[in-house]
Structure 1
Amino acid sequence: RYGKWYTPPRTVQEAERNHYQRKNSVCRTKYYHGFLWQRPDDLLSQPIYDNNGLIVGLQSAIKGRLEGFDSNNNTIRIPSPKTMPPFMVGETIKKDVKLYTLTAYFKHPRLICNPGAQDAKEYKGLYIQMGNDPEKEYMEIPLKLEKLSKEWKKAECVAKMGTHYFMNLSKKLNCEELYPVFLTYTDGKLGAFGWMFQGKPPKNNKFGLDWYYLPPNLYAFTGLQKDYLPACMLNKNFQINGIHIWLRPPSEQLCKKRPIHTPQPCSKTTTTIVQIKIYPHTYYTGTANPPRAPSLTLIFILIISIGLL
């Protein structure tokens, strides 16, 4: 399924034209700040808009009945309490199913609902929500690598994705503590981030967007190498799911050394990358092929490029 195109609405007006529905009538809610819009049954890509009607964030959600593994390969519920936050308890939907959310903002959360911030620039940074009040409870991601804390461990560089960094990743990591946020940097600047978690979420929706999912033999696709992973992550039944969100164009995500993966054009591919690029004054959307992998089933990667830098 090569050649999938998808453009997210950059403004509220575009969201309305594309049949998105607004979920909240007030800007400050007990779950997030901003106006969240959603397509029917789409939990993966839920854009957030400010009082100016401009996209300022993205929320993804999973249902709270997923299963994963702990460090002893015992079955556990996902998300694990060890990953909350940044996983946050969300709303309860039909049949008493609880949602768990991951939320990112592209400018400071206190500006999103502030009516006095009419002239604020669209994109000022990257902030991960870490509590019910995002104006006070957030994690600011450094735009420069030199300011990144040592808790973020360097992994590998993947062509067109950048060098990956994972929180506290080591052979001693308990799998129930696998942090659901990862970052990538190129030339010392933040290039992308993404969500990552255990389990196998159901198919997302009818729009063709879905979580990528990788078994251990395909971890390298996200910059992970087996020589520094805990044994529990090498369990054949262990699986990583998530999305990859670009903040800079993929053409800028280069590897100085030989990357562990170099995407190559392929007329016969069973993988799909969905790219979403949002720039302040224009759009560009397209597709890119990941490397061939004989055992790789359909992978959908949601990518948002926002021209932060």
Structure 2
Amino acid sequence: MSENTWLRKARLNGNVGQWSDWSECKGAVGEECVKTRRRTCTPKRNNPCGCRDVQPRQRRTIPVKVTFHQYHDVPRTKQDALQLGWVKKDVGADCQGTYFNGERFWKDSDLAVILLYDVNGFIAGIQTAFDKNYSSNPNDYPSPQLQNHPLVEEGGNYHTTAYFIPSDKICSTGRTLAEFNQQGTGTGLWVQNGTSPSSTVQIPMTIEQVRSSEWTEATCFKAMGTHFLYRMSVDMDCDDFFPMFLLYNGGVLDGFGWGYGINLQTSSRFEHPTPFVFPVMLLLV
């Protein structure tokens, strides 16, 4: 029975109220949880069982996971981050930065994962960075055309940044607890492609939308999904390769990753595809 069908039936047999807000997650930090919402129903006198079809609704909230084949959970609130040993990267800095929006947190001084929280302490984005002067860099990566678009230099490091809510909301109003409980990790995906937090590009949320955009479809790779790469072609200049790939499963966006042209050995979170895997991942369709 569809929701509209049982709702019409319930209204014939009882007075049905509006849905409540989604409940909060309970349990260990970072674990998957089930949220519940309910609606009231008062049976009519002539049908005391008329509300039997008005059942609570549930949905699963999936945590943010990082690092392929490891899938480590990361905290989605600043409070949880502090409990798990994450610390503020820019001590004394405000939410509104010169180059990025959000309070930045890292763990064990690892530049591979930097979490961004809004003014109310809810997850707002994620960054990866590496030392501008990393010694093993025979190709002088990044190329001039990628510097600050999207690899933004700040504090001696190059950063790639993705936001889960519009960047102009992060340090102004942020999200309320009710919005966070309803929306989860975010409302979309925006990639910063300039030196200002407002210089963002919104990522298509469905495979139909991305197929009609400038993102190029590549292969579907096991345990990842269908890859899309920005303006990819077989004869393109490697210096123009946009260091990001999108992943779609079930017709919707459910992941993304960064792809740098430099062999970074500074964190166990950086993956190093083998000569066999890399061309398969980039095979265009």
Asked whether the two chains share a fold, i.e. TM above 0.5, the reply is yes
RMSD: 2.3
Q: Gapped runs of 5+ residues in structure 1?
A: 69-74, 92-97, 230-309
Letter in 2 for 1:64: K
Q: What SS does structure 2 have at the residue aligned with 1:110? A: helix
Q: Deviations over 1:10-34 (max 9, x none)?
A: 2111111222111233111012101
8 Å contact 1:184–1:192 — kept in the other structure?
yes
CA contact (8 A) 1:155 1:224 kept: yes
| 1:1-150 to 2 correspondences below 5 Å | 6-24=72-90, 25-66=93-134, 75-84=138-147, 85-91=149-155, 98-115=156-173, 117-118=175-176, 120=179, 121-122=183-184, 123-134=186-197, 136-148=198-210, 149-150=212-213
CA apart distance, 1:141:
0.2
Does the Cα contact within 8 Å between 2:122 and 2:175 map onto a contact in 1? no
| Distance in 2 (alpha carbons) for counterparts of 1:159 and 1:218 | 11
CA deviation vs aligned residue, 1:66-100 (integer Å, no higher than 9, x gap): 556xxxxxx43111122231111121xxxxxx200
SS in 2 for 1:154: strand
Structure scoring higher RCO (CA < 8 A, sep ≥ 6) equals: 1
CA shift digits 1:111-136 (9 cap, x unpaired): 111137535445100000112322x3
Shift of 1:220: 5.0
TM-score, scaled relative to structure 2: 0.66
- In structure 2, the partner of 1:269 is none
Identical aligned residues as a percent: 29
Per-residue CA distance 1:247-274 (angstroms, 9 max, x = gap): xxxxxxxxxxxxxxxxxxxxxxxxxxxx
Question: Structure 1 132/82 Cα, relative in aligned 2: closer, same or farther at 3 Å?
Answer: closer
Distance 2:188 2:269 in 1: 26
Are the equivalent residues in 1 in contact too, given 2:151–2:158 (CA < 8 A)? yes
Measure the CA separation in 2 of the matches of 1:44 and 1:55: 17
Deviation at 1:195, TM superposition (A): 0.3
Structure 2 CA distance, aligned partners of 1:131 and 1:103? 10
Count matched residues: 207
User: C-alpha separation between the residues in 1 aligned to 2:157 and 2:200?
Assistant: 20
Alpha-carbon offset, residue 211 of structure 1: 0.3
Letter in 1 for 2:152: M
Match of 1:153 in 2: 216
CA distance in 1, matches of 2:126, 2:273: 23
**SS where residue 147 of structure 1 aligns?**
helix
Contact kept? 2:118, 2:175, Cα under 8 Å? no
Deviation of the 1:174 alpha carbon: 0.8
| Residue 217 of structure 1: how far off its partner (Å) | 2.2
Task: Tell which deviates more after alignment, 28-37 or 3-12.
Answer: 3-12
**Counterpart-to-counterpart distance in 2, 1:63 and 1:128:** 20
Q: Give the distance between the partners of 1:185 and 1:125, measured in 2 at CA.
A: 14
**Aligned mates of 1:20, 1:37 — CA distance in 2:** 6
Instruction: State the secondary structure of the residue aligned to 1:13.
Output: helix
Q: Which residue number corresponds to residue 24 of structure 2? A: none
Tell me, in whole angstroms, the C-alpha distance in 1 between the residues paired with 2:213 and 2:70.
Answer: 37
1:280 maps to which residue?
A: none
Mapped to 2, the partners of 1:10 and 1:176 lie a distance apart of 34
Partner SS, residue 14 of structure 1:
helix
**241, 246, 253: which is aligned to 1:183?**
246
Contact 1:9–1:15 at 8 Å: present in 2 too?
Answer: yes
Q: Distance in 1 between matches of 2:168 and 2:85?
A: 28
Query: For residues 187 and 132 of structure 1, do their structure 2 counterparts lie closer, same or farther at Cα, with a shift above 3 Å needed?
Result: same
Q: CA deviation at 1:145?
A: 2.2
2:257 counterpart (172, 191, 194): 194
- Maintained 8 Å contact 1:65/1:78: no
Name the TM-score, length of structure 1 as normaliser: 0.61
